[in-house]
Structure 1
């Protein structure tokens, strides 16, 4: 068991050192060659890859899937839109992307709850609603449903 831990730590350290060396080499190449260093690291620098980005995908992208969900008649989507009616669709998508970027599922749920609560915080820690215990439970359930639905949609 002890040998496994030290082996794992050594592997992580080796991996980290390789990454640092690669970053230092990139920095040295940029200092030496300037913008031409891109030719050392990219195969098709002068190609039309930026203009054709996403053309080879038939399936809608991440943002399109979230947008379609938010604009749908799904019960969760309707609740989220009603809850965040003062926010634009772009703001909602950005907030949801942040929530989904959390590593643990519990963190995603609580980030979603915090995002949904954002519009009811009144100066300080007081809330606009008098029945805050019910609101907290309701918001947590909505956050759980939202993260579950987005996970299903995005795969």
Structure 2
């Protein structure tokens, strides 16, 4: 390998280390692991982007107090919703249908919204805490 290609390859491996926080958890959990990138948005949020070991691209949005209030994902593998949703995973279990649709999961409660879809082996979805979003801000504003 050429030295430049080797450097790029090694940097890509470093970005793939686990660096996530639970929904509703603190963004400090992200920095305790390895923060891949941090983007300041025009709204009062900070976006953390990283790639899971399974190759799924994740984005987590932290409010001004550092609490994770929204997440997005896409890739060839779904995220582990038990870990991703943290304490809100129990809400998902409570409302999950007995006969799940293996291509789509959708849950909307006053406290939690989750949508996860699979099409041709590609997974994408999001979760957020509606009550934690500032007035006038929607999930679409976080794009």
TM-score class, shorter-chain normalisation, is: under 0.3
**Quick check: which has more Rg, 1 or 2?**
1
- Greater helix proportion: 1
Q: TM-score, normalised by structure 2?
A: 0.26
Task: Calculate the TM-score normalised by the size of structure 1.
Answer: 0.25
Higher strand share: 2
